[in-house]
Amino acid sequence: VINEDPISISGVRKVEVEYDGKKMEDDVLVDVVFQYNNTYETNILCFANSIYNGDGGTHLSGFRGALTRVINGYAKANGLLKEKDPSLSGEDVREGLVAVISVKMPNPRFSSQTKDKLVSSEVRPAVEEVVSRELELYLEQNPADAKIICEKIVAAARAREAARILHLPEPN
């Protein structure tokens, strides 16, 4: 385990939704818990209204985007990512990540009857906003954890870049 205590993020964002052809504002509740470990594996479980979404969806996209953007920004701003270092990719940022993403919302839309993938477009910006705001705050308030997490991610980026230069297959 890289960061001893899991990072827990919660928030609510108002979004515009459509009910029976009428546009209204309603809340999307976002809950995310994640932790880094020393493996190369990524394990992210996604839920919408307590329904497991095995193929992820817009909530996963929002989380991935926010996580990559915030970690990159923090690492650069705090000198943990040097000029000579490669930019941190989404894969680098998710290496060794275990996460649970849960959203609660009215009338979620799924890609099929099996509800494997959430396709409600208003969810992505809601998750991005909540995760960005709360993760930035967490990193600022927990600089020791932030440094350990960023060092692991920068090491993953350096390994990826070294493998690319040597034309070796990247670790999965």
Residue of 165, 26, 160, 170 whose CA lies nearest to 103: 26
User: pTM to 2 decimals?
Assistant: 0.91
* Residue 110 identity (one-letter amino acid): F
pLDDT at 164 (0 to 100): 84
Tell me the sheet residues that pair with 17: 24
Cβ–Cβ under 8 Å, residues 104 and 49? yes
Cβ–Cβ under 8 Å, residues 8 and 83? no
The pLDDT tens digits for 33-80 are 999 999 999 999 999 999 999 999 999 999 999 999 999 999 999 999
pLDDT at 1 (0 to 100): 83
Which parts of the chain have pLDDT scores under 70?
168-172
pLDDT at 87 (0 to 100): 86
